[in-house]
């Protein structure tokens, strides 16, 4: 079974993806890490995020497992990831690795922005996770504070809005609900409530 979760920043898709992967004993790929790691490699090398050739080389050089999440999770890298993610050649360079992860025997859980639309259009279950921008900014501010990052709620909300606009308006694989995806609004749900709702969606799709 392939489970595809897509949605905007801090909508809760990462937590849901991890929980679903554990419940159904499936491997999980957080595809946002691929774009974050690509951006990180460019910044480390002193290259510009818009340098297509360098960005493609950085994307091609990634492994799928050896991410130093501590360096990739911060606010700056989320913003930088969204810049490199808008380059079509970078997305193309990361396509095969994501598809081969998804086609493992038994299936997989992938979360990102274009899993249900581009990476796994035939996924068994597609969930489009949304939440209000204020709720997402709150969650992200708490998460970043937990990682020791100094955060300002207003700045985090601004980041989220900028990223929503960039991710939704780019021409290459924009953030979009697949026609056959089920929407899950987590605004009023806690982690357990969102997980229960996601499991109900998986079970209902499996029964078809």
The contact set with ligand CDP (CB under 6 A) reads: 9-10, 14, 31-32, 35-36, 78, 81-82, 85, 112-114, 163, 167
- Main-chain phi, psi angles of 67, to 5 degrees: -90, 135
CB of 105 to ligand CDP, least distance (A): 23
Give the separation between CA 111 and CA 2, rounded to whole angstroms.
11
CB of 207 to ligand CDP, least distance (A): 28
Q: Based on CB atoms, which residue is closest to ligand CDP, 51 or 143? A: 143
CB of 43 to ligand CDP, least distance (A): 14
Q: Based on CB atoms, which residue is closest to ligand CDP, 28 or 163? A: 163
Asked if 72 and 33 touch (Cβ cutoff 8 Å), the reply is yes
Question: How far from the centroid of its chain's Cα atoms is residue 201's Cα?
Answer: 19
CB of 208 to ligand CDP, least distance (A): 25
Sheet holding 125-130, edge to edge: 28-30, 108-112, 2-6, 125-130, 182-185
Q: Based on CB atoms, which residue is closest to ligand CDP, 81 or 202? A: 81
Asked if 140 and 85 touch (Cβ cutoff 8 Å), the reply is no
Q: Based on CB atoms, which residue is closest to ligand CDP, 147 or 203? A: 147
């Amino acid at each position: 079974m392939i489970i595809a979760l897509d949605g905007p920043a801090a909508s809760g898709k990462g937590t849901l993806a991890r929980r679903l992967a554990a419940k159904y004993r499936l491997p999980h790929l957080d595809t946002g890490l691929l774009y974050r790691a690509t951006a990180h490699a460019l910044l480390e090398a002193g290259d510009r995020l818009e340098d297509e050739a360098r960005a493609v080389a950085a994307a091609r050089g990634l492994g799928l497992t050896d991410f130093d999440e501590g360096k990739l999770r911060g606010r700056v890298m989320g913003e930088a990831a969204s810049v490199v993610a808008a380059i079509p050649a970078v997305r193309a360079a990361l396509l095969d690795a994501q598809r081969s992860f998804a086609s493992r025997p038994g299936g997989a859980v992938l979360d990102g922005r274009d899993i249900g639309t581009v990476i796994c259009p035939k996924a068994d279950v597609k969930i489009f996770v949304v939440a209000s921008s204020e709720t997402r900014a709150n969650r992200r501010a708490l998460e970043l504070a937990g990682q020791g990052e100094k955060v300002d709620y207003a700045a985090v909300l601004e980041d989220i809005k900028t990223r929503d606009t960039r991710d939704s308006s780019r021409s290459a694989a924009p953030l979009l609900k697949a026609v056959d995806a089920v929407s899950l609004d987590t605004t009023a749900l806690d982690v357990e409530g969102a997980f229960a709702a996601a499991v109900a969606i998986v079970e209902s799709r499996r029964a078809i």
